[in-house]
Structure formats: structure tokens, C-alpha cells
Amino acid sequence: MASNEKVDKAYSHNGSDVESNNAFHSGETGQGLHRQLKNRHIAMISIGGVIGTGLFLGTANALRHGGPVGMLLGYITVGTVCWATMISLGEMVAYLPISGGHIKLAERFVNPAFSFTMGWNYWYNWTIILPAELSAAAVLINYWNQNTQLNYAWITICLLVVVAINLCGAGVYGEAEFIFASIKVLTITGLIILGIVIDLGGGPNHDRLGFRYWKNPGPFVQYDGIAGNTGKFLGWWAVITQAAFSFIGTEIVAIAAGEAKNPRRNLPKAIKRVYVRILLFYIGGTFVIGLLVPSNDPQLDLGTGTAASSPFVIAIQNAGIKGLPSLINACLLTSAWSAASSDLYTSSRALYGLALSHNAPQFLLRTTRRGLPYICLLVCASFSLLAFMGVSSGAGTVFNWFSNMTSIAGLLTWFGINLTYIRFHKGLKAQGFDRRKLPYIGPLQPYASWYALFMTVLFCVFSGFDVFLKGEWDTATFVTTYLPLALFPVLYVGAKMYYRQPIIKPQDMDFISNIAEIEAEDYDEPPPKNKLEAFWQWLTQDVFVFRS
């Protein structure tokens, strides 16, 4: 088939597309997932994936280890990697918004063994994070109620709500995530504005801070007391490690692609605006935090897991403002609740994607008439019971080991996405496809994906650097940091031996299947029905997402 014929075949649908061995949504039950996520759902799911406890609480350790400038540079560095990963992912899922997201894309453009490895790594990541978020919600409630014996009850209540939301289907999940993400967006935006006011002397104490803390105690921190540029560099690298784990989750929009309405139009909108969210929320937030709190403030090392550890709360209390810490803790609680709901949704769809690729038992493909993969959902929800391990000290230690391993698993997902895109790009070129006709074209490609691929490997290899410092060795930290990194190639080699299929050649990659079904669902978005919808459209697209 000539190149121009391939292009015409891929970008038009006339009902005679090549049939796919794996149906677009149907799996083997004839039901499959249904497209229920609206434009505003996708926009806020993407935003909500960026904003989390990493920004509200994790920045405390980042400031303590790196100083205001070290923290800012660390988040900027990771932000560029996140952006490069998202534009790579965006180009693929905007063209092929199929169930299973990047797990199925890896099967098409690399080989089944890599899809197997990415899928189970991704499923483990989000399945284990789910009980961790439920435990975090219970800790946040302890800010008001110090009776930790009630943590079992708090976890149970949060778990029931999370499972109920997901059992109601993707549409209800989208609405809940829209509300939760809106609260997070309004919270961080309000905190950034309030931080600027406090820095300029607008607080009750009228103390104008300016860049005071950039001068004393200084822009950088000497990590672990190591003198000179080496200590400053290690402080910056410690921030990078923290920031990388904070950004994990932005790729959730790919898993949601299989249930997104009008995906060819809505997914590019969400992906193209990722850099604005990174700039506005993380870079803007860390810049303001560095102005408000000195890096040697002892409150940064409280480790309570509640609002008391947040740099924003520390700055508010130092400025003499009362009442807001409880409000912020309530917002943090909704953030943990939102994250748990999102974790269950993502893990269940990842498991569905594995089954769709024949990398998991086929009974997992069963869905309800409304397109809910209820078997996958119930299997993943059962793992949330691990949250109760976190309540007891002995079992809690073991549970923390499992949850710590999810950090590296998340970075390995980014590695897999970028490798898949590099293969995708080679396939387009080999088969004569015109990238200019794609629904979304990532800039600086394929160089951006190569950059992100290299940096994610670097992050993984040196993420546990602190255990190699003199007197800092910890066996548990070493194992939980590097075990997932070692298991990834082991899983791939094992799957490669089982499937006995080579890496797919660029000229043999499938860019045709599913195109007719996808383009048939492309339509113009209707205007807002009322003033409330018009307000939220303005808020999520024009203010916080900006038009591209």
C-alpha cells in the first residue's frame, strides 16, 4: 500500500476499516467501556492529577533539603520532564484514544512483552497507592481528633465512599473528580494569592518579607551538612527526587481516554495545557513558598502528615492569621479522598487494559450494560483493605515498604510512555504518515521524548542516593527504592520468553485499526446550557487552563 493511501485510510472513515484483533472497547463480553467523561471532566481530571499532597505537604521537605532556589530549580527541572512526557503521551492518545491507554499502545508500537511489563507495573503502582491515600485521609482527620483508635472507622468511611463513587460508573466518577479537583484548584490558587499578599506585608503583622529568606539562611541548603557546591548539588537533587514523585499521576488522562466523550477534541485540549498548570501551580507555588518560610524553620520537619506540616500553613501562622489551618486541612482531606477515588478508577482500568491485551485473565473483561468493569473494580478495591495495616505499627512498617516502591514504579511508567512514543514516531515516519494531520502534534519531537526517557532513567537510578552517604545506610530504604527498578527488566525478559514475539518493526506497526470508531464519535461541543455551566467552562478552560 502506498504512503498516500495509508494516510487517506488512517484519517478518514468509511465503514470499511481494517478489523482489529482486539475490539475497540468490547473486550470479549460484547459490552466494554462506554464514553461518559465530558470535556470538563477530562480537563479537571488532568488538573487534579497535578495538584496533590505533594504540593501542599511535600514541599516542606523540598524546602528543607534544597532551600528556596534549590527547590524552585528542582521543580522546574522535573516540570520539563513531565511536560515532555505528557506531549509524547498526548500525541499518541489523541490519535488512538483506546481502552487501556498507554498499556495498549505499548502492545501496538513495542511488543506484547513490554505491554505486559508496563501494565502490571502501572497496576501495582495505583493499587498500592490507594490504601496509602486512605491511610493519609485518616491521619488528616487526626488533626482535629487525636484519638487514633478511630482511624479504623475513618478509613472504612472513606473506603465506602470511594468504592460507591466508582461503582456508579465513569460519569459519576468524572463529576466527583470535577468537584474535588475544583476544590484543589481554588485552594492552591487562593494560597498563592494569599502568599503574595503576606510576602508584601499585607498580613496582620504587616511584616514585608520580600526576598529576605533568599539571603538568610540563603538560596541553597548544604545537604546533610556537606560543605561547598557538592552539598548544594545534593540538596537540589533531593528536591528533584521529591518533585518527581509529586508529578506522578499526570498521565491518568491516558487511562481515561477510553471513556472520554469526543476524545479527538477533548484530549488534545487537556494535554496542550499541561505546561500552563505546571507553571501556574507547581512553579508558582514553590516560588511563593520560598519567599514565605525560611529553609531552617523547625516546623518544616514536623512530619505529622497534616496541615501543620504545610509551608503555606506555617507562613499563615507566622503572619498571625488564625482559622485558616483547619480550612486548609479540610481541603487536604478532600485532596486525599479525590486521590483515592482516582487511584481506584485508574487501577481498575489498568487491569481492564491488561485483560484486553490478554495479559490478565479474560473474565476481568466483564462489564455491566453501562460499561462498568465491575470485576476489575472489585478486585482492585479488595486491595484497599491493606490500609488497615497502616494503623498498626508492625504491619504499618511492611505496608510502608510496599507504598514506597510505588514512587519508582511511577517513574518507570514515564519511561515506558516515552519509549513507546519513540517507537510510535519511528513507525509514522517509516510508513509515510504525515504528522501534521494528527489531532495533536507534540513540539520538539522526538527530541523531547528522548530527553524525558534519559531523565527518568537518571531519576530512578539516583533516587536513593542518600543511603550511600556516610552513616546513612538503611537496608529497607535501599530495597524499596531499587527493587522495582530491578523487577521491571525481569518482568520484561520473562514475558518476552513467554510470548516469543520480537519488537515490532516500524513498517509493521498498526496505525489503522479503531480509526473509524474513534472518528465516528467526533463532534462539535454544544454550548453551555446555563450560567453555572458557563461559569465552570470559563473557570476550567479560560482561567486555570487557558486557551492554546
Q: How far apart are CA 433 and CA 10, in angstroms?
A: 9
* CB distance 353 to 99 below 8 Å: yes
Task: Return the DSSP state at 298.
Answer: G
Going by C-alpha positions, the residue among 306, 270, 365 that lies closest to residue 40 is: 270
pLDDT of residue 225: 86
Mean pLDDT score of the chain, rounded to an integer? 81
pLDDT classification of 547: cutoffs 50, 70, 90: very low
Half-sphere exposure of residue 414: CA atoms within 13 angstroms, side-chain side: 34
Residues in Cβ contact with 172 at an 8 Å cutoff, skipping those fewer than 6 apart? 165
pLDDT of residue 246: 80
| Top-ranked range on mean pLDDT: pick from 397-401, 448-452, 513-517, 522-526 | 448-452
Lowest mean pLDDT among 4-18, 335-349, 466-480, 495-509: 4-18
pLDDT classification of 421: cutoffs 50, 70, 90: very high
Residues in Cβ contact with 144 at an 8 Å cutoff, skipping those fewer than 6 apart? 326, 329
Average pLDDT over residues 181-194: 86
Average pLDDT over residues 229-238: 92
pLDDT classification of 390: cutoffs 50, 70, 90: low
Is the pLDDT confidence value at 289 over 50?
Answer: yes
pLDDT of residue 304: 59
pLDDT tens for each residue of 23-37: 344 444 445 666 666
- Encode 525-548 in three state secondary structure: CCCCCCHHHHHHHHHHHHHCCCCC
pLDDT of residue 233: 93
Instruction: Give the predicted TM-score (pTM) of the model.
Output: 0.84
Instruction: Specify which residues 260 forms β-bridges with.
Output: 37
The DSSP-derived string for 386-447 is GGGGGGSHHHHHHHHHHHHHHHHHHHHHHHHHHHHHHHHHHHHHHTT--GGGSS---TTTTH
Measured CA to CA in angstroms, residue 250 lies from 265, 346, 443, 477 at distances of 19, 12, 18, 26
Residue located via cell numbers 491493606: 386
Q: How far apart are CA 426 and CA 435, in angstroms?
A: 11
Alpha-carbon 475 to chain mean position: 28
pLDDT of residue 548: 33
Is the pLDDT confidence value at 103 over 50?
Answer: yes
Alpha-carbon 309 to chain mean position: 22
Is the pLDDT confidence value at 104 over 80?
Answer: yes
pLDDT of residue 537: 60
Higher pLDDT, 540 or 388: 388
In one-letter notation, the amino acid at residue 122 is: Y
Is the pLDDT confidence value at 134 over 50?
Answer: yes
pLDDT of residue 413: 93
Residue located via cell numbers 501542599: 56
> Which burial class, exposed, middle or buried, applies to 234 when counting CB atoms under 10 A from its CB (0-12, 13-18, 19+)?
buried
> Which burial class, exposed, middle or buried, applies to 540 when counting CB atoms under 10 A from its CB (0-12, 13-18, 19+)?
buried
Share of the chain above pLDDT 70, in %: 81
pLDDT classification of 3: cutoffs 50, 70, 90: very low
Q: How far apart are CA 57 and CA 300, in angstroms?
A: 9
Sign of CA dihedral 242, 247, 251, 255: positive
Q: How far apart are CA 469 and CA 471, in angstroms?
A: 6
Cell matching residue 194? 494569599
Lowest mean pLDDT among 34-38, 243-247, 308-312, 475-479: 34-38
Average pLDDT over residues 385-413: 73
Q: How far apart are CA 478 and CA 482, in angstroms?
A: 6
Task: Return the DSSP state at 322.
Answer: -
pLDDT classification of 524: cutoffs 50, 70, 90: low
Share of the chain above pLDDT 90, in %: 26
Lowest mean pLDDT among 6-20, 60-74, 187-201: 6-20
pLDDT tens for each residue of 204-227: 888 888 999 999 898 999 998 888
Instruction: Specify which residues 37 forms β-bridges with.
Output: 260
Is the pLDDT confidence value at 505 over 90?
Answer: yes
Cell matching residue 500? 516469543
Is the pLDDT confidence value at 188 over 60?
Answer: yes
Cell matching residue 348? 481498575
| Top-ranked range on mean pLDDT: pick from 93-107, 342-356, 450-464 | 450-464
Q: How far apart are CA 427 and CA 141, in angstroms?
A: 51
Average pLDDT over residues 87-92: 90
Is the pLDDT confidence value at 122 over 80?
Answer: yes
pLDDT of residue 418: 96
Average pLDDT over residues 9-20: 38
pLDDT classification of 420: cutoffs 50, 70, 90: very high
Long-range Cβ contact pairs of 317-322 (< 8 A, separation 24 or more): 318/292, 318/293, 319/198, 319/203, 319/204, 319/205, 319/207, 320/203, 320/204, 320/205, 321/198, 321/203, 321/204
The DSSP-derived string for 184-200 is HHHHHHHHHHHHHHHHT
| Top-ranked range on mean pLDDT: pick from 20-29, 181-190, 402-411 | 181-190
pLDDT classification of 56: cutoffs 50, 70, 90: confident
Q: How far apart are CA 17 and CA 468, in angstroms?
A: 56
pLDDT of residue 11: 41
